[in-house]
């Protein structure tokens, strides 16, 4: 069974440029998470989807970040415009149904903003 | 409010030693779940264990064991006879099992474990 797929794995951009990350969760997993992980810290939840509904986006900086999960399967996270402080690893995870279940993580996208 | 504290930022032990990683949590909910994840140098987080708040039975899986104590709000992880391959960052996480949109998940800051040959 395929795991969580993310692309790209690495991205280097200049500040003020837009960037997008893509995630395909494990088949059948209704819940999809986007996290940001800064160096030496734990994952910080940005947004959580239950199917196509964003049920927790309280930590998403909505002035520059947006996300969508059309058809309740794969998802895209966008930053526009990127700032230096956005440099981090962006992780996507999925679980069978809600936060009570264990999550399966993708390899992450390492974003560097210059 | 939820909180997960992993006070040990880094631990270094010699191979074959036993090591315990501490996790202390705070929640006002009576129903919640606790997790441990491993993040090896490759970077991908790997699920290790899930525990619900009503099950305080300790669990053993090979060289890994977990001690859940509600009285001290702790969910500690012990590796027996550590091996170099255990070197990684370990995260403890807490989720509150409310109705879907109110459920929250939070990770601790992690403990970096180094096993020296």
- pLDDT higher for A100 or B113? B113
Token pair recorded at residue B108: 């601790």
- In chain B, which residues have their Cβ closer than 8 Å to the Cβ of A56? 101, 103-104
Low-confidence ranges of chain A (pLDDT < 50): none
pLDDT at B98: 64
For the segment B81-101, what is each residue's pLDDT rounded down to a tens digit?
Answer: 999 999 999 999 999 876 555
Interface of B to A at Cβ within 8 Å reads: 4, 33, 35, 37, 42-47, 50, 52, 91, 93, 95-97, 100-101, 103-110
Do residue A99 and residue B45 have CB atoms under 8 angstroms apart? Answer: no
Is B89 in contact with B115 (CB distance < 8 Å)?
no
For the segment B10-23, what is each residue's pLDDT rounded down to a tens digit?
Answer: 999 999 999 999 99
**B109 exposure class (CB count in 10 Å sphere: 0-12, 13-18, 19+):** middle
pLDDT at A2: 83
Mean model confidence pLDDT for chain B: 93
CA distances from A65 to A87, A91, A92, B101 (A): 13, 15, 15, 20
pLDDT at A100: 82
The residue of chain A with its CA nearest to that of B105 is A99
Please give the distance of CA A103 from its chain centroid, rounded to a whole number. Answer: 13
Question: Mean pLDDT, to the nearest integer, of B52-57?
Answer: 89
Which of B45, B95, B109 lies at the smallest CB-CB distance from A100? Answer: B95
The DSSP output letter for A24 is: E
The residue of chain B with its CA nearest to that of A50 is B100
Q: How far apart are CA B46 and CA B64, in angstroms?
A: 14
Which sign does the torsion angle of CA A39, B117, B23, A4 carry? positive
- In chain A, which residues have their Cβ closer than 8 Å to the Cβ of B45? 43, 91, 93, 103, 105
For the segment B22-53, what is each residue's pLDDT rounded down to a tens digit?
Answer: 999 999 888 899 999 999 998 899 999 999 99
Reference B82, options B10, B20, B6, B7; nearest CA is B20
Question: Mean pLDDT, to the nearest integer, of B69-84?
Answer: 96
Quickly tell me which residue has 């049920």 as its tokens: A55
């Amino acid at each position: 069974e395929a795991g969580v797929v993310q692309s790209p794995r690495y991205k280097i951009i200049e500040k003020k440029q837009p960037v997008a990350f893509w995630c395909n969760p494990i088949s059948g997993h209704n819940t999809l998470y986007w996290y940001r992980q800064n160096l030496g810290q734990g994952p910080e939840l940005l947004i959580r989807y239950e199917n196509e509904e964003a049920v927790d986006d309280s930590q998403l900086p909505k002035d520059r970040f947006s996300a969508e999960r059309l058809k309740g399967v794969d998802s895209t996270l966008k930053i526009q415009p990127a700032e230096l402080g956005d440099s981090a690893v962006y992780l996507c995870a999925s679980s069978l149904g809600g936060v009570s279940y264990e999550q399966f993580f993708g390899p992450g996208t390492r974003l560097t903003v210059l | 409010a939820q909180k997960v504290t992993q006070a040990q930022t880094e631990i270094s032990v010699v191979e074959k030693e036993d090591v315990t990683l501490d996790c202390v949590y705070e929640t006002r909910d009576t129903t919640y779940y606790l997790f441990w994840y491993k993040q090896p140098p490759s970077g991908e987080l790997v699920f290790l264990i899930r525990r619900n708040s009503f099950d305080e039975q300790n669990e053993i899986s090979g060289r890994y064991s977990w001690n859940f104590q509600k009285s001290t709000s702790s969910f500690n992880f012990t590796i027996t006879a550590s091996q170099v391959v255990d070197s990684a960052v370990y995260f403890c996480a807490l989720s509150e099992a409310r109705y879907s949109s109110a459920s929250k998940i939070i990770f601790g800051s992690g403990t970096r474990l180094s096993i020296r040959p």
